[in-house]
Amino acid sequence: MAYEFKFVRTIEFSETDMAGIVHFSNFSKYMESAEHRFFRSIGFSIVTDQTKPPVGWPRVHTSFDFKKPLHFEDKIEIHLLVAELRSKSISYQFRFNKINNENSEIAATGKLTTVCVSRTIDGKMKACDIPKEISEKIEVAPVNILES
């Protein structure tokens, strides 16, 4: 069962602001990308018809804490951890680590909560239990690696 996903990317010029640092709004995109990659790593898409009913995952909470600025061409490791798994929702913690030669330092942390939904016959979203074929592949990260 999976509880984490990591990947490395390079900061693009278009992601920076007039101060030359990554604009805060990009951290939402980075978290979403990590979540999508995490789902693909367990054999699913974030929007899937592989389950009955088909489900999606709207965001209901996001937050960030910024520690150090990131700049154009910085390499960062984005680390997703499953912080909580409930019957209808998943909460994640994120660490954005700036990679410097041999070591890394935390540039930011984030949190994201998503709710599993299906569509009603009239097209409205309704919270539903996470399909077993998805929930059985995910577990909560060990307490010792989660942020307090």
Task: Tell me the domain boundaries of the chain.
Answer: 4-142
Q: pLDDT class for 119, splitting at 50, 70, 90? A: confident
Q: Among 72-76, 88-92, 144-148, which stretch is predicted with the lowest mean pLDDT?
A: 144-148
Q: Tell me the pLDDT tens digit for each residue of 46-66.
A: 887 777 888 999 999 999 999
In whole angstroms, what is the distance from residue 41 CA to residue 47 CA? Answer: 14
Q: Domain 4-142 carries which CATH code?
A: 3.10.129.10
CB 79 within 8 A of CB 8: no
Question: Could you please report the per-residue DSSP string of 62-102?
Answer: EEEEE-S--BTT-EEEEEEEEEEE-SSEEEEEEEEEEEETT
Give the whole-number percent of the chain exceeding pLDDT 70. Answer: 99
Burial class (CB in 10 A: 0-12, 13-18, 19+), 36: middle
- Mean residue pLDDT of the chain comes to 94
pLDDT digits 0-9 by tens, 88-98: 999 999 999 99
Burial letters 100-137, b for 16+ CB under 10 A, else e: eeeebeebbbbbbbbbbbbeeeeeeeeebebbeebbee
Give residue 122's pLDDT: 87
- Total count of residues recorded for the chain: 148
Side chain identity at 92, as an amino acid letter?
A: Y
- Helix H or strand E segment including 61: strand 59-66
pLDDT at 148: 58
How far apart are the C-alpha atoms of 64 and 93, rounded to whole Å? Answer: 10
The pLDDT value recorded for residue 44 is 92
